[in-house]
Amino acid sequence: MGKEAKGAVVSQLMIDARGVTKSFGTTLALDHVDLQVQAGTVLGLLGPNGAGKTTLVRILTTLLKADSGVAKVAGYDVESDAASLRSMIGLAGQFAAVDEMLTGRENLELVGLLYHLEKPERKRRAEEVLQRLGLEDAADRQVKTYSGGMRRRLDLGASLVGRPAVLILDEPTTGLDPATRIDLWKFIEMLVADGATLLLTTQYLEEADRLADRIVVIDHGHVIAEGTAGELKDQMGADVIEVVVRDPDDLDRVSPLVADLGHGTPVVDRSRNLFTMPADGRVRAVVEAASRLDAAGIEIEDIGMRRPSLDDVFLRLTGHTAEDDDVAGSPGTPGALRRSSR
Ligand SMILES: Nc1ncnc2c1ncn2[C@@H]1O[C@H](COP(=O)(O)OP(=O)(O)OP(=O)(O)O)[C@@H](O)[C@H]1O
Ligand SMILES: [Mg+2]
C-alpha cells in the first residue's frame, strides 16, 4: 500500500497512540499511554508539571523515540514513517523557536524552505500566515523587537506554513496576556473549523474547556481520566460546596466539621484559602455548613454552591499527588496547575 493511501485509509483516527512508554534514566515519563484523536477534533492533554505532556508531544512529532508502544499520526507510524510524517504535522513548541535576528516574514519563509516550497509559494504562504495572525504590521521587523505575544503568534504561524492536517501545540498560550490568549483561541477555533485535527497541551483549564472536544488528563506518565469536559465534570457529582476562610490556619478544621454534608473527597487549595467538596442539598447544605463553621469560630470570607468546573475535576484527580510532590515555592498548591486570570 502506498503511503498516500495509508494516510487516507485511517483518516478517521488522526492520532493513535497505544501503550507508549518512555523512561529517562530512572524517571518513567510515560507509562503505557493510550490516546486517540478523531479527525477534525480537538484533544486537550492536561497534566501538572512533569506529567509527561511534552514527552508525548515529542514522540508524536518524531522528535523522540518511545521505548515501547506504537504511535501513528495521520496514518503514519512515528518511527518507520517518520520522514513522511514530518511533512504532515505542524508543531508549535512550549518554547518559541523562531530566529531573533530575522524578521517575522523571513522566519516564515524559512519554514517554507524547509518544506521545499518554491520561492513564490513560500512568499504567498508567509503572507497568508502573517495576515491570519494579525502580524502584517510587524512582518518586516526583526523578531527581537517583538513582544512575547507576537513571538508566540509567529511560532504558531511557523507551524502553519506547511498547512498541516494535524496540528500539535504544546502549551501554545502559556505566558500570554489574557487578551492575546483569547485572540489565539479564536485563531485556533478557525483552524479547526477549516478541518484541522488538533492536539493541544495546556495548563489552563479554561482553554481546554473552550477548545477541546475531548480531554485526557495525565499525571506521572499515566492517563488518569478522559472524556468530554462535561463528562469529567459529571464525575464530580451534582454540585460543589465552596468555602473560603479568612485565616489559612483554619483550613484544616473545615473538613472534619462539614464532611458529612458532602460526598466524595474534599479538596483544599491553600493558595486561595479555599475548601471545596462535592455535595448535594443545595441551600440547606450551605446554610448548615455556615452555621457549623460559625459555631466553631471559623471566620468565613465566602461560601456557596456552584456547578463543578474543570478545576474541581483536576484538583480532585491530581491534588494529592501535587501535594506529595510539593514543588518548591508553592507549598500545597494542588495540581500545580495554572489558572488564567478571570
Ligand atoms: N530529556 C530528558 N531527560 C531527563 N528527564 C526528562 C527529559 N525530558 C523529560 N524528562 C522528565 O520526564 C518527565 C516528564 O516531563 P515532560 O517534559 O514530558 O512533562 P510536561 O508534562 O511537559 O511538564 P510541563 O508542564 O512542566 O511542561 C519529567 O519528570 C521530566 O523531568
Ligand atoms: Mg511540557
In order along its 342 residues, the chain shows pLDDT tens digits of: 444 444 444 448 999 999 999 999 999 999 999 999 999 999 999 998 899 999 999 999 999 999 999 999 999 999 999 988 877 776 665 455 678 999 999 999 998 888 888 999 999 999 988 987 889 999 999 999 998 888 888 888 888 887 788 888 888 888 777 877 887 788 788 888 888 899 999 888 888 989 999 999 999 999 999 999 988 887 776 688 999 999 999 999 999 999 888 877 788 888 889 998 888 767 888 999 999 999 999 999 999 988 877 877 887 787 643 333 433 333 333 333 433 333
Phi/psi at 233 (nearest 5 deg)?
A: -65, -35
3-state secondary structure at position 315? helix
Pocket flag, ligand 1, residue 154 (CB < 6 Å): no
End-to-end CA distance of the chain: 51
Nearest CA to ligand 1 atom 31: 50
**DSSP-derived 3-state class of residue 318:** helix
Give the number of whichever ligand sits closest to the CA of residue 218.
Answer: 1
For a mutational test of ligand 1's pocket, the pick from 20, 21, 22, 24, i.e. the residue with the most ligand atoms closer than 8 A to its C-beta, is 24
- Residue 137, SS3 per DSSP: helix
66 alpha carbon – ligand 2 mean position (Å) = 16
- Which atom number of ligand 1 is nearest to the Cα of residue 22? 12
233-336, CATH topology level: Alpha-Beta Plaits (3.30.70)
Buried residues in 196-206 as b, exposed as e (16+ CB within 10 A): bbbbbbbbbbb
50's torsion region: left (phi>0), alpha (psi -120 to 50) or beta? left
**Ligand 1 contacts CB of residue 29 (under 6 A):** yes
27 lines ligand 1 (CB under 6 A): yes
| Closest-lying ligand 1 atom to the alpha carbon of residue 218 | 21
Q: Which three cell numbers stand for residue 145?
A: 523587537
Pairing mode of beta strands 13-24, 68-73 = antiparallel
Closest-CA residue, ligand 1 atom 27, reads 49
Answer yes or no: is the C-beta of 23 below 6 A from any ligand 1 atom: no
Cα 207 to Cα 196: distance, rounded to the nearest angstrom: 17
**Domain 3-230's class?**
alpha beta
Domain with CATH 3.40.50.300 in the chain: 3-230
